[in-house]
Chain A
Amino acid sequence: MLSRIAESLFWLARYIERAEDTARILDVNYHMLLEQSQQSYRLRWEPLIVMAGEEKLFHKLYEEVNAETVFEFLAFNEENPSSIVQCISKARENARTIRDRISREMWEDINGLYYAVTRFHPREEIAAGPHRFCDKIKFGAHRFHGVTDATMPHDEGWEFLRVGWSLERAEMTARLVDVQYHNLLDALPSVDAPDNHQWMAVLRSVGAYEAYHREYHSAIEPEKVAEMLILHHRHPRSIRFSASEVQSGLRAVSATLPGEYANEAERLTGKVVERLRYDRVNDIFMQGLHTYLDDLLRMFGAIGEDIARNYFYYAVVA
């Protein structure tokens, strides 16, 4: 497979995943806030911008942090490279450059989603609230996953897609937990009085609310939420599950045996996966959640870079 194609598949998947995750977080946050007091407004929206890593840009573009500006920024803004519309449009650009390598159904699906997204009118959607728009993105991404699994040969190209969206998902979940947790700790008198609504929202935004109740049969507790999102071995949006997916994808490409690694990306992934397998949530809190997640995020960054070094870039041979 051409290096350029592997790279496009990897990024196609990452952009789709980023769009979906952003849509989920926006949607849940908005609806949770309908039941909140006005004072906590700014407080509730700020973390979303921190999560996107675009605080500077946001404050350059907008004066106020509120539902409308954040929604506009994260969903539609053309200057925000991670806005949903930008992600879908970049995903489609990537798909377009490799449309001969993906199935016709995949191309038509992402192309259809692109036209659907660009047909939304930001002003109308902002007035109507984010639900309709976010739902479209969420289901669009799900459909794309389904179409991909059902129509594309599960060959190495498919593995690069898997690696792309799993790595993106692992990062997004890590950021979500990190930002929300610290925001809540800062805002509230003590961890003993957790804001259940906020944690419910976190669970809902990764689609883990019902699963949480099945798993723990208890009220929402921050540590358990963190455990679920970081360490759960079956929930498809947990960091551990996503990291395992990255590992499986990388191994399938290099045909490495379990317990061995063919490159730095595989070594680091293996390290992360083992750590997430044997760490308990108490260990994490002892180290400090933020330090722990920050460390994971740094490793994910390094994994992404090494994948690029190994598979995408060609050193010019003199």
Chain B
Amino acid sequence: MAPDQFEERRKLADLSFLIQGITFTVYSDGRGTERLFPFDLIPRILPHSEWEKIERGLSQRVVALNLFLQDVYGKQQILKDRKIPRWLVCSCPNFRREVIGVEVARGIYTHISGIDLVRDSKSGDFFVLEDNVRTPSGISYVLENRLVMTRTLPDAFQACEVLPVHHYPAELSRVLRSLSPRGPGDAEIVLLTPGIHNSAYFEHSFLAQQMGVELVEGRDLIVDGGVVYTKTIRGLKRVDVIYRRVDDEFLDPLTFRPDSILGVPGLMGAYRAGNVALANAVGNGVADDKAIYAYVPEFIRYYLGEDPILKTVETYLCANPTDLGYVLDHLPQLVVKAVGESGGYGMLMGPAADRAKILEFAERLRANPRNYIAQPVVGLSRVPSYDSATGTVAGRHVDLRPYCLYDGEKVTIVPGGLTRVALQPNSLVVNSSQGGGSKDTWVLRGED
């Protein structure tokens, strides 16, 4: 394809995203402006054999994380067996005492997980960078990217055999339906969104529409006699399953933050009584805490008796005095992360930081060591990407977030996932809020 033809198709793709309103909201300018998520027309290719290994590794990890959550909010056997320090678990900012002993539907906590992977540029191996088992977002971009790609570059799809991704909403719907306390046949499912001003609002409405379920806000729901209802033009209608995209703290002002207007008073009562299922479960934040991350390989061995298939990055727990000492001595070579944060907030990239920034973080680490972990910098792999400024193709750093659905028996993963790309040369930051973009991810069918 000639360069000008490529440029033309790229513009067509951008326009298509804008008109469809596939945008996200950035808060840094104080107005909450809608922005396009920059899209790179060159796909990222994963051979089938490589994908198979990732798939097995992710399935193993999701099952182990789920068993950990069952355990930690149930018998707490792993704490009694001293495989992970009790204080470390209990001090997680997202550990929720309120749900200890609650029996969740079918024992599933991690219905939907988004697990971030990076490929080490030296060894070529995939590493797990972090787990997201609370309300991971981004799947809508995977589906829309694919749609725009098939429209913009249909010829390329005919040449390569690419595994499809569009069954995700149907799979998600099946998983949610299976949780209904009244049985899957009668399941009334809703998707609870914080509302139009949330950065992922597009995704919420997209998924609701794709699954054919009602998109609701907290004010659309009411709890009466321990049962959740929607307010309709014909009166109240019972709800069985809530796919909630509202954080734990905001779900129910009677249990968590009393100032929350996004939640539903009494929701946790209905949840405890088993009258409504929530996906994902409440309290999952303890499993994707960045300090707990260091113990996930141990979970896999402890619960499954298997060796971890995917590698994890070496992690220093600042709560550990020896680790803290090491981290403070080596800050310029390390990445420091706040344990309960996500989306690239509260991070220090040692090699890129100036002296003042490093001193500032050293101070923060000493003040609240439990809140931080440190890792060596992983050299992110690069893949060919289009640079619209120069009109050339060059290598750019990428990560990968596959989306895993768990129904208690089997983990289903749509082939590929969201490839985020740092569009600036040499940048390692792929977050959309900081100038990152995305690409379609192509897992090829069959033999390489």
Contacts and interface: CB of A to CB of B under 8 A. Distances in A.
Interface of A: 1-4, 6, 93, 96-101, 104, 107-108, 111-112, 115, 156, 253, 310-312, 314, 317
Contacts of B209: 99-101, 104
Dominant SS among interface residues on chain B: mixed
A97 B21 contact: no
Contacts of A115: 18-19
B231 interface: yes
Contacts of A3: 220, 231-233
A108 B214 contact: no
B230 A2 contact: yes
Question: Size band of the B side of the interface?
Answer: 20 to 34
Contacts of A108: 19-21
A142 B429 CA distance: 45
Contact of B21 (A4, A107, A314): A107
A161 to B, nearest CB: 14
Nearest to B20: A108
A111 B214 contact: no
B176 to A, nearest CB: 15
A136 to B, nearest CB: 16
A98 B215 CA distance: 8
B18 A99 contact: no
Dominant SS among interface residues on chain A: helix
Contact of A2 (B195, B201, B224, B231): B231
B208 A2 contact: no
A104 B18 CA distance: 13
A2 B216 contact: yes
7 contacts: A4-B217, A96-B201, A99-B205, A99-B209, A107-B21, A115-B19, A312-B233
Interface of B: 18-21, 195-196, 201, 205-206, 208-209, 214-217, 219-220, 222, 224, 230-234
Given A1-B233, A3-B231, A100-B206, A112 B19 contact: yes
Contacts, number: 58
Given A108-B19, A156-B233, A2 B220 contact: yes
Contacts of A98: 215
Nearest to A157: B233
Nearest to B216: A2
A78 to B, nearest CB: 14
Contacts of A96: 21, 196, 201, 205
Nearest to B215: A100
A236 B378 CA distance: 67
A93 B18 CA distance: 15
Contacts of A2: 214, 216, 220, 230-233
A222 B19 CA distance: 45
B68 to A, nearest CB: 34
A22 B216 CA distance: 33
Nearest to A94: B196
B326 to A, nearest CB: 49
Nearest to B234: A1
A93 B196 contact: yes
Nearest to B204: A100
A3 B231 CA distance: 6
B65 to A, nearest CB: 30
A253 B233 contact: yes
B180 to A, nearest CB: 19
A4 B19 contact: no
B280 to A, nearest CB: 20
Given A96-B21, A107-B21, A108-B20, 11 more contacts: A2-B231, A2-B233, A3-B233, A4-B220, A101-B215, A108-B19, A111-B20, A111-B21, A310-B233, A312-B233, A314-B222
Contacts of B21: 96, 99, 107-108, 111
Contacts of B205: 96, 99-100
A91 to B, nearest CB: 14
